[in-house]
Amino acid sequence: MYQGTIRVLVACIILGGHFLVFFAGLLLGIFGPLLGVDVVQTILMASPVLGVTASSALMFAMRGQTEIDRGEKVTTLFSTVTLFFPIALLVCIAVVFVAISRQVNGFGPDQLKISLGAIETFFGIFLGTIAQTLFGTKGENPSS
């Protein structure tokens, strides 16, 4: 797999995932057990890591390139790790959202917030490193 392909895949996963997490959080408030402040807190707690990474992916997408550079061929380890962490973050958030929506015994709004905080903390450094490696920092355009 090539670095350009990885960039596009990860950008799509992160941007789509960020939208889905926000939308699912709203649905938990409309059709689920969360009310008022709990909905807002849930969305705020589930969004920081994805939001920061999504902003890097969005800047990559908005550079207006008509053709993404293919870049260098990357190792299987690089592509696996780079795709694994964003997908794993989204799966973990989905599991927590399903647990609250099905009102698993003993899993209420407080446990939801604690779980989301732990998930965001755990995945934060990994997704930050991935975003930096693939998308660079503001004003930086990685060449390969």
Q: Is residue 141 part of a domain?
A: no
- The larger pLDDT score, comparing residue 132 to residue 142, is at 132
Q: Is residue 144 part of a domain?
A: no
| Residue 86, Cβ density class (10 Å: 0-12 exposed, 13-18 middle, ≥19 buried) | buried
Going by the DSSP 8-state scheme, the letter that residue 73 receives in this structure is B
Do residues 122 and 85 lie in contact, with contact meaning Cβ atoms separated by under 8 Å? no
Task: Give, in degrees to the nearest 5, the angle at Cα 138 between 129 and 69.
Answer: 75
Question: Which pTM does this prediction carry?
Answer: 0.81
What total number of domains does the chain contain? 1
Cα distance between residue 107 and residue 102, in whole Å:
9
Q: Is residue 143 part of a domain?
A: no
Report the pLDDT averaged over residues 65-83: 84
Q: Is residue 32 part of a domain?
A: yes
Q: Is residue 140 part of a domain?
A: no
- The larger pLDDT score, comparing residue 8 to residue 69, is at 8
Domain that holds residue 95: 3-135
